[in-house]
């Protein structure tokens, strides 16, 4: 599936968890994703086992703690935490996962990708939801074009 099609399908979900959202938002891509999705009308849930509140909202220690569950998850923690989050998402029946990646390694983990895809999930392994659809802006769309050239945004998933 082409990345644009996968991103559209992911962003068609209305209840989205974002892991790694920090109570100290400076420099955290997860916070940018969380606040933008919230601003654009999504019902978003911050996941951070070390915080009670994030960006003025309740933070949840894990995906299972979110009341009434979610349709999708943006994994924006370090890559070492991605497999565990992907396993939890699969166990909860979440069908969509996006491992965030900007300029560095980001959250992308080959093991997490395999876990999610083996469970039948749509897994986007790189890039950022803010590069696509109603969540995007000009700067993120420009970064998307550049990062496709370097492989940090997959062309297909």
Rounded Cα–Cα distance for residues 133 and 157 (Å)? 17
CB-count burial class (<10 Å; 0-12, 13-18, 19+) for 129: buried
pLDDT along the chain (157 residues), means of 10: 96 97 77 95 97 94 98 95 98 97 81 98 94 86 77 80
Rounded Cα–Cα distance for residues 70 and 44 (Å)? 9
Instruction: Give the CATH number of the domain where residue 95 resides.
Output: 3.40.50.720
DSSP bridge pairs for 74: 18, 98
For residue 143, what pLDDT is reported?
77
Assess if residue 19 is contained within a domain.
Answer: yes
For residue 27, what pLDDT is reported?
61
Structural domain count of the chain: 1
Assess if residue 103 is contained within a domain.
Answer: yes
Domain that holds residue 35: 3-150
Assess if residue 16 is contained within a domain.
Answer: yes
For residue 148, what pLDDT is reported?
80
For residue 103, what pLDDT is reported?
64
């Amino acid at each position: 599936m082409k990345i644009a099609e996968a991103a559209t399908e992911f962003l068609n979900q209305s209840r989205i968890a974002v892991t790694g959202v920090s109570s100290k938002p400076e420099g955290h891509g997860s916070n940018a994703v969380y606040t933008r999705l919230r601003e654009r009308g999504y019902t978003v849930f911050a996941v951070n086992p070390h915080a009670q509140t994030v960006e003025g909202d309740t933070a949840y220690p894990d995906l299972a703690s979110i009341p009434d569950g979610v349709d999708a998850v943006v994994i924006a923690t370090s890559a070492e935490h991605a497999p565990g989050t992907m396993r939890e998402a699969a166990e909860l029946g979440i069908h969509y996962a996006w491992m965030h990646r900007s300029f560095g390694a980001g959250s992308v983990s080959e093991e997490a990708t395999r876990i999610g895809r083996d469970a039948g999930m749509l897994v986007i392994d790189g890039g950022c939801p803010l590069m696509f659809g109603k969540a995007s802006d000009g700067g993120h769309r420009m970064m998307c074009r550049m990062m496709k050239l370097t492989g940090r945004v997959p062309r297909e998933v």
